A and B are shown apart, each in its own frame.
Chain A
Amino acid sequence: MSNGGRRTLSDPVLLGVGLFVILGLVLTLVMVVILILVSLNKGLLLESWVPTFAHFRKVVQDAKFWIVVKNTSVSGLGTVAVMLAWAIPFAWLYTRTDLPGKKILVAFLTIRVAVPSFLVALGYILLLNPSNGIANILVSRMFDLDGPLFNVYSLPWIIFLQGTALVTPCFFMILPTFQAIDAALEEAAFASGVSKRMTLMRVLLPLAGPVILSAAIYFFIIAVEMFDYAGMIGLPRRIIVFSTWIYQLVVNPTMDVPHYGEAAALGIFGVAFISLLTVFYLWSIRRAERYAVVTGKRLQQSATRLSPRAKGLAWAFIGVYAAIEFFIPVAMLLWTSLLPYVQAPSLGALKQISLLSYQEIWPELPPLLWNTITLMVAVPTLAVMISTCTAWVITRTRLPGKGGIEFALMAAVAVPAIVGALSFLYLGLSVYKTVPIYTTIWLMVLAIAAREVTWGNRTISGAMLQLHREMEEACAVSGISQGRTFLSVVLPIVAPALFFSWFWLALLTVRNLTVPIMLVRPNTEVLATAIWAFNAAGKSSYASALGVILLLLVGVLVTLFQFVVRKKYV
């Protein structure tokens, strides 16, 4: 055994870190390995093993393959561009300026998470469809137009709405980095007569570069997988992208079983593409130390002062976002929860308003809330513990092969969510006789955590990259063990990142649908699956009423979050 290995075994902290890293790798590799097996097997995985490349052939020979590649690339890149155009200014305004009332921004960003995306898409269809969209009717009347001004059924609208919907997770991913950057750098720039705009462009953005690039790559993958907008807005006019193709293969198969093999083959193409992006990303952060800005001599943070005009512009910018992503979705949710069926606002609709759906869903709540809260607490806790350990190993150690850990975590996110959930279904079944986790909610916890580790790792890695090596070197010189340094020096500094990650992953968990829908059993139903199932049953008012309950739950979470932030980090 090497010295390093002996040191790890004798240091309980390092041993714990190692175990969490192994657990993270197992969870993510399960998805990749089963993806490969499913893509290469002719039938069902537990029934037979007949290797074949037929799924790949069928996918590539499909007439829509290249159309889907083109649509998906344009949609993915466009979505990331729109997302960054909102998220970077928000992160800057929130962390580096004296904008009054900026905490409301976090409320706008987080509450929206509770509104099911299919309802948001439906809201925009009611507003902007070319046939009887409310906005089109109003504009046509005002300007005496012949045809509709807006047509929501187009790729640019999919891109815009997807990009805007991704602002919240992107904001939370880049926020810790923006917070960690030392204010002394800006102050030095100001003292040298550099303008605020130039300081932002030349100092802050380059420093946040690795995490912004990382977020761009990560959310490109997420954008490729987003279904609600592509499905509801793209499908009506046959704008097919990767996610709608997968949906067709799994949910609407032409045969009596889902085409998981072809879906997995598509996933393999995704993993291959993401692998290239990851290699590029790893190459780009090789010189990450040049971005290290948090040193042992940390100064008191001070905010950039905005002029009254700049404050007005900032709030106008936030207001436009709030209208698109907060007021319209929440209004849509409340409106549909009060009506017997989905309809545009009118006098006739107003007469039908009632609280009946709330009365009907009330008895549903105890088991749904219990299961949802279990997931909401267990998933982010597990994911953040794993992510903290992987991020530390990747960014702060010289462990050979650590690039492989980064690569595996990144590749895992490219596994289509449906196939990823299927992997855990197989995992649960494989170990059922020894560990009967399959019929419990804990299989869902593992499956969702596995998908969230990538996000956690990206976010926490971004914050850890900001730490200068001099602190660890000082600890080493003082004879403090590596494990103790991790616990007592590194963790307290990146605590805001861990906290933001936990909070955001909790939000992501309560609205995760793809994984629970694949693994749900009658005793493990959660709010998201109930909302989906009521909607599928044509009971949109019940689905929306549950959505409102989810909104309240998220509201409680946001309030707790604000309380903790005020107490600990301000």
Chain B
Amino acid sequence: MKRDRTCWVQMGVVMTLVVGVMVFPAGAASKFPPAIEKLIPQAKAEGEVSLFTGSVKVTAKEQERFSQAFSKHYGIPMKVSLAGLGSHPEVIQRLREESKVGVKPAVDVFNTAIKFLQGLKQAGLMEAIDWKEFGVSEKDIFPTLYAVDIQTNVRALVYNTNLVKKAEAPRKYEDLLDKRWKGKIVAPANAQIFPFIALIMGEEAGINLVKRLVEDQKLAFTTTVTDVAVRVANGEFLLGYGYSAEIDKKRGAPIENAPMKFGAFRQCSVVLKNASHPAAGRLLVHFVATVPEGKKLIHEILNWGKYDTPGTEAYELAQGSGLVFAKDVTDEIEWETKENPRLAERFQKVLGL
């Protein structure tokens, strides 16, 4: 009798183990890399994390949605703030000054262009992190900048679809010199966006093109990049350079990207030194760089797409007419940190701004 009972107990244990393995196949091996596993309890203790989103402000509802997805993925409660604090140069300047007197940075994770990251690194403002440990793909890592590529920023040319047929839209930059576009093209009054034309056409051809756009085509200017889309969508201008169509298309505006090759650059995330929530910051970068749900959310909420993330505008443009990155033609960091500012100075003179 006693032997029978032992036998039943043994069978019960075996059955439980079998069912357990069938129901929880990942139970034996975690779905996270060990470095992430280690971070999760620390991040849980921190409880919140923030990401710098430039000048882009998102609503409390959108932040709540992001927080819920993040919390669900890592199984810990987490409040994620998406903080639009202002223009990148100004906020970086503040971070540099604040670090001198020991003020903790206002955000944990900073997402910006490579040229700004170089400045942050020189000022000693970023954590030296080996992102490989966290399972981030090697092609997305800038080891010298401790940064992870999470966003592709496209300097596109948009047109008003009510006033310009797709077949008539420009197919190359030289088409902008057609007299039908005279007085009908608008761009931001920001010389930094024009070097991306040089990336495609070459320096002298780019400078000459912009010179003719200013002198012959009476290129008009707006104060902000987003205002380009506003002016094209309401039909005041037919073409707009420097901004892509995705956000306004989603809202039903009659705007589309021209079928041509565009210059693009990568925006990368780093965890700031002395951040208030360093572990949660690392998890956040992991979430938006490697987790499909995270990639989807930053695209839906912040409109941050990436050239290799299907379903985003950047992906479609890369697969379609094509995107040209600095890394395709030269050393990317060199171009971003030295060539781009030099070219911007040259374009500034041509633009007369």
Chains A and B are bound partners = yes
Contact B116 A256 (CB under 8 A): yes
Q: Quick one: which of B61, B229, B233 has the most chain A CB within 10 A?
A: B61
Expressed in whole angstroms, the Cα–Cα distance for A383 and B202 within the complex equals: 55
Given contacts A46-B97, A129-B236, 7 further A-B contacts (CB under 8 A): A235-B353, A256-B89, A341-B251, A522-B83, A522-B106, A533-B57, A540-B230
**B252 CB contact (under 8 Å) in A118, A247, A254, A340:** A340
> Please, which residue of chain B has its CB at the minimum distance from the CB of A367?
B60
Expressed in whole angstroms, the Cα–Cα distance for A536 and B231 within the complex equals: 14
Contact A433 B229 (CB under 8 A): no
Q: What's the dominant secondary structure at chain B's contact region?
A: mixed
Beyond A360-B61, A521-B85, A530-B57, whether A240 also contacts B101 by CB under 8 A is no
Contact A44 B118 (CB under 8 A): no
Q: Tell which of A310-318, A390-398, A424-432, A470-478 binds the partner.
A: A424-432
For residue A237, CB closer than 8 A to chain B, the reply is yes
For residue A22, CB closer than 8 A to chain B, the reply is no
**A125 CB contact (under 8 Å) in B107, B188, B236, B345:** B236
> Please, which residue of chain A has its CB at the minimum distance from the CB of B98?
A429
29 CB contacts below 8 A, A to B, read: A44-B93, A44-B96, A46-B101, A47-B97, A126-B234, A131-B237, A153-B220, A236-B222, A238-B221, A238-B353, A240-B353, A248-B189, A254-B192, A254-B341, A256-B89, A257-B89, A258-B89, A340-B251, A342-B230, A342-B234, A352-B252, A361-B59, A363-B59, A429-B98, A432-B103, A533-B84, A535-B226, A536-B56, A537-B226
Chain B proximity mask over A520-553: 1 for CB below 8 Å, otherwise 0: 1110000000100111111110100000000000
Q: Which residues of A contact B100 (CB under 8 A)?
A: 46-47, 429
Contact A132 B235 (CB under 8 A): yes
Contact A256 B115 (CB under 8 A): yes
> Please, which residue of chain A has its CB at the minimum distance from the CB of B112?
A256
Within 8 A of B (CB), among A22-59: 44-47
For residue B140, CB closer than 8 A to chain A, the reply is no
Contact B186 A236 (CB under 8 A): yes
Question: What class of interface size applies to chain B in its complex with A?
Answer: 35 or more
For residue B284, CB closer than 8 A to chain A, the reply is no
Q: Which residues of A contact B341 (CB under 8 A)?
A: 254-256
Within 8 A of B (CB), among A466-525: 517-518, 520-522
Contact A343 B90 (CB under 8 A): no
Q: Which residues of B contact A360 (CB under 8 A)?
A: 59, 61
Beyond A255-B341, A342-B234, A521-B85, whether A236 also contacts B192 by CB under 8 A is no
Q: Which residues of A contact B226 (CB under 8 A)?
A: 535-538
Expressed in whole angstroms, the Cα–Cα distance for A252 and B192 within the complex equals: 8
**A254 CB contact (under 8 Å) in B94, B221, B348:** B348
How many residues in A have their beta carbons less than 8 Å from beta carbons of B?
Answer: 67
For residue A250, CB closer than 8 A to chain B, the reply is yes
Contact A44 B103 (CB under 8 A): no
For residue A149, CB closer than 8 A to chain B, the reply is no
Residues in chain B within 8 A of chain A (CB atoms): 50, 55-61, 81, 83-87, 89-90, 92-94, 96-98, 100-103, 106-107, 115-116, 118-119, 183-184, 186, 188-192, 220-224, 226-227, 229-231, 233-237, 247-248, 251-253, 337, 341, 344-345, 348-349, 352-353
Contact B119 A257 (CB under 8 A): yes
Contact A341 B235 (CB under 8 A): no
The total of Cβ contacts below 8 Å across the A-B interface reads 168
Q: Which residues of B contact A126 (CB under 8 A)?
A: 234, 236
Within 8 A of B (CB), among A219-247: 231-232, 235-238, 240, 244, 247
> Please, which residue of chain B has its CB at the minimum distance from the CB of A542?
B59
**A341 CB contact (under 8 Å) in B90, B106, B221, B252:** B252
Expressed in whole angstroms, the Cα–Cα distance for A134 and B99 within the complex equals: 51
Expressed in whole angstroms, the Cα–Cα distance for A253 and B221 within the complex equals: 16
Q: Which residues of A contact B224 (CB under 8 A)?
A: 535-536
Contact A518 B236 (CB under 8 A): no
Expressed in whole angstroms, the Cα–Cα distance for A258 and B94 within the complex equals: 11
Give B184 Cβ to nearest chain A Cβ, in Å: 7
Chain B proximity mask over A320-364: 1 for CB below 8 Å, otherwise 0: 000000000000000000001111100000001000000011011
Q: Which residues of B contact A533 (CB under 8 A)?
A: 55-57, 84
Give B207 Cβ to nearest chain A Cβ, in Å: 14
Q: Which residues of B contact A257 (CB under 8 A)?
A: 89, 92-93, 119
**B223 CB contact (under 8 Å) in A232, A425, A429, A439:** A232
> Please, which residue of chain B has its CB at the minimum distance from the CB of A534?
B57
Give B117 Cβ to nearest chain A Cβ, in Å: 9
Expressed in whole angstroms, the Cα–Cα distance for A472 and B282 within the complex equals: 69
Expressed in whole angstroms, the Cα–Cα distance for A343 and B251 within the complex equals: 12
Contact B184 A131 (CB under 8 A): yes
For residue A438, CB closer than 8 A to chain B, the reply is yes
**B97 CB contact (under 8 Å) in A45, A129, A236, A341:** A45
Q: Return the 4 tightest CB-CB contacts between A and B, nearest first.
A: A533-B57, A536-B55, A254-B344, A340-B251
**A236 CB contact (under 8 Å) in B81, B221, B248:** B221
